[in-house]
Amino acid sequence: MISYLLDTHILVWWRQDFKRLRKVQAQVLQDLEERGQVSGVSAISLRELAKMIQRGRIELDVPLEAWLSEIEQHPLLNVFPLTSKIAAESVRLGDDFHRDPADQIIVATARCHDLTLVTADDRIRKWGKVRVL
């Protein structure tokens, strides 16, 4: 059973820069990995990663397509597609949620699948309408 959804930055840090995670996040992800438990990722995170690479915000040592494919095929990750339910939920988050469509989809994915969102985004963490780690 999947309990956690990784946001885009957490996914990058989990794969490339583990020490940037909060201590509790690192511990939970390490425990999940040791137990072979799968975590979720929103499909929109793959697009965000591609854009981050295009803009030079992160660097890879392999081609973009290979890195994205590795995420899709990773045995401990499940990529959740954008569904009509998630799309509808993403526009119901309210005016007090920030306007980034990718973050809206990520949060809606966590809410629709009843997952705890692992995030470093303080706006999401303070919002209070999704479980966060």
- CATH assignment of the domain containing 99: 3.40.50.1010
Q: What is the pLDDT of residues 76-95, one digit of tens each?
A: 999 999 999 999 999 999 88
Q: With respect to residue 133, please indicate whether it lies within any of the assigned structural domains.
A: no
CB 15 within 8 A of CB 124: no
Q: How many domains does the chain have?
A: 1
Q: With respect to residue 67, please indicate whether it lies within any of the assigned structural domains.
A: yes
CB 46 within 8 A of CB 79: yes
Q: What is the pLDDT of residues 109-121, one digit of tens each?
A: 999 999 999 999 9
Q: With respect to residue 73, please indicate whether it lies within any of the assigned structural domains.
A: yes
Query: What is the 8-class DSSP label of residue 91?
Result: T
CB 12 within 8 A of CB 49: yes
Q: What is the pLDDT of residues 20-64, one digit of tens each?
A: 999 999 999 999 999 999 999 999 999 999 999 899 898 887 888
Q: With respect to residue 132, please indicate whether it lies within any of the assigned structural domains.
A: no
Local confidence band at 99 (pLDDT 50, 70, 90 cut-offs): confident
Q: Is 80 exposed, middle or buried (0-12, 13-18, 19+ CB in 10 A)?
A: buried
- Distance between CA 54 and CA 48 in Å, rounded? 10
Residue 102 belongs to domain spanning: 4-127
Q: Helix, strand or coil for residue 64? A: helix
Q: With respect to residue 110, please indicate whether it lies within any of the assigned structural domains.
A: yes
110 Cβ partners below 8 Å, 6+ apart?
5, 116, 117, 130, 131
